[in-house]
A and B are shown apart, each in its own frame.
Chain A
């Protein structure tokens, strides 16, 4: 974990310090895992829902990592985008960085599909699931 970058995000108000809560973090991570399974199960029937749930799996996994490390998103707009910024700072790993950048693309796809009458394709769901699986696994490994 790159403490320096996380500190910088706290200093800028992107994140704020709270009491670490390992129990809540474990529960949130378990929810993320269930989301992964759900997204894979519905992928063939409902691409838009599957993509949204895969995105939620990744988001909750990152949020659980924050919770375990005593951090929350600060106030203001763009909370979801800030989660990606936290993940990039917290996991100082070039391969995972690709997944976190991809997480942001999935976020944009999800937003378009939710608000812009934009359809989602099977390839988008496959991509989203790949990223979500990698992110959930990385958080699990780090919190073990």
Chain B
């Protein structure tokens, strides 16, 4: 379990707890069993179970049993639900919301979060991200991408700044900017499935 507090919002006791809460609260439309959440979030299974127990005891989440599997859902009747959802959305929303929003735009082969937000998410300390940097590989319609970015900004309480590079430029790696992006923390957003809170590298 990631035991240090998350740099994006160090109010949570650990990065693992924050990731789990963010996944459960912001991905409530795609609930998953604990074992899958652990894998998706790059957390150890035992730690996730203990954290789930703790959060359930505090009334922040509730469990549902499906066969032998345990599925967590946000407890919408908790007095903290609204505030907690808002905090999680502002702090961790980019990993959960940007991928699904981009799925409606054809022509995107890969989508990454980079820059200061991705660095904080990956555990690199630094100042609070002023905006969310997104790099798209492919040849999507510029207008459609920028429109999605503008719609996301008020939800995430930060500007979303996408840049688009062709597959050739991304693979070539001769360009200074792309080399710099690749050498810093990147969070790839899954554009094909319903899982977006993948582990940062």
Contact = CB atoms under 8 A, between A and B. Distances in A.
User: Do chains A and B stick together as partners?
Assistant: yes
Interface of A: 98, 101-102, 105, 108-109, 112, 116-119, 121, 123-124, 127
Most A CB contacts (10 A, CB to CB) among B142, B161, B163, B176 go to B142
B110 to A, nearest CB: 16
Given A101-B146, A102-B143, A105-B146, A117 B163 contact: no
B177 A116 contact: yes
Given A117-B177, A118-B175, A118-B177, A109 B163 contact: yes
A116 to B, nearest CB: 5
Contacts of A124: 142, 164
Contacts, number: 40
Nearest to A128: B142
Contacts of A119: 165, 169, 175, 177
Interface residues of B, number: 16
Contact of A127 (B143, B166, B176): B143
Contacts of B146: 101-102, 105
Contacts of A101: 146, 150
B139 A123 contact: yes
B175 A108 contact: no
Interface string B140-174: 00110011001000000000010111100100000
